[in-house]
Chain A
């Protein structure tokens, strides 16, 4: 079975401060990993993805994530948060099904609040 754990339901940071959102996964093989962001009334938008290779992945909007196999983690980071980053963030794991198609499990999300 696979699962994705986002231990922080809600995080508040000051604008300009650094951010780290945690994600742990449980999966037997090398996972394909994603971070999505969801703003109110908006669809899910992909921030970044990891399939293989360099374990530090750069994404859009200044986000990055690091895959750590030994810790089964894929934490999302940003050095300086902007007020527009306030949203809900989802970590997701893609377990390729037998037919080769994506079978994605999402975490429960972390809501980010940014204060002035």
Chain B
């Protein structure tokens, strides 16, 4: 079946611009996670959704970052007033449920470059 998809695969923007990154999780997966992976680092947790609600947004670096999941499936990560330090690969992952022993299934990521 289809895995997690993310669009766009690459995004180049200028400092100060607004960007939206999209994640389509595996159908039926209720849990959705966003991570940020900077060069030479492992993924870092940003936010977790259970259904439509953001149950844990403790990883968002500041209030320029925001994410939504209005219908409990597709999620959008929004970054306002982008800065060069926001350049990274943004990964989305989903799992069938919040707990349990299922692993997270990752998408290929969106590479964001802020010039």
Query: Which residues does A use to contact B, with CB under 8 Å?
Result: 4, 32, 34, 36, 41-46, 49, 51, 90, 92, 96-97, 99-109
Closest chain B CB from A61 CB (angstroms): 15
Contact A43 B109 (CB under 8 A): yes
Q: Which of A34, A43, A46 contacts B91 (CB 8 A)?
A: A43
A10 CB to closest chain B CB (Å) equals: 11
Chain A residue numbers with a CB within 8 Å of B40 are 108-109
Q: Chain B residues with Cβ under 8 A from A99's Cβ?
A: 50, 55-56, 98
26 A-B pairs with CB atoms under 8 Å apart are A4-B42, A34-B103, A36-B106, A42-B108, A43-B108, A43-B109, A45-B106, A49-B101, A97-B56, A99-B55, A100-B98, A101-B31, A101-B50, A101-B98, A101-B99, A102-B31, A102-B33, A102-B95, A102-B104, A103-B48, A104-B104, A105-B45, A106-B43, A106-B44, A108-B40, A108-B41
B42 vs chain A, min Cβ distance (A): 3
Contact of A43 among B44, B98, B99, B107 (CB under 8 A): B107
Contacts A51-B101, A102-B104, A104-B104 known; A43 to B41 CB distance under 8 Å? no
Task: Contact check, A41 vs B48: say whether CB atoms are below 8 A apart.
Answer: no
Docked pose: A48 CA to B42 CA in angstroms: 17
Docked complex Cα distance between A91 and B40 (Å):
14
Q: Is A44 touching B106 in the complex (CB atoms < 8 A)?
A: yes
Q: Digit string of B18-44 for contact with A (CB within 8 Å is 1, else 0)?
A: 000000000000010100000011111
Docked complex Cα distance between A49 and B102 (Å): 9
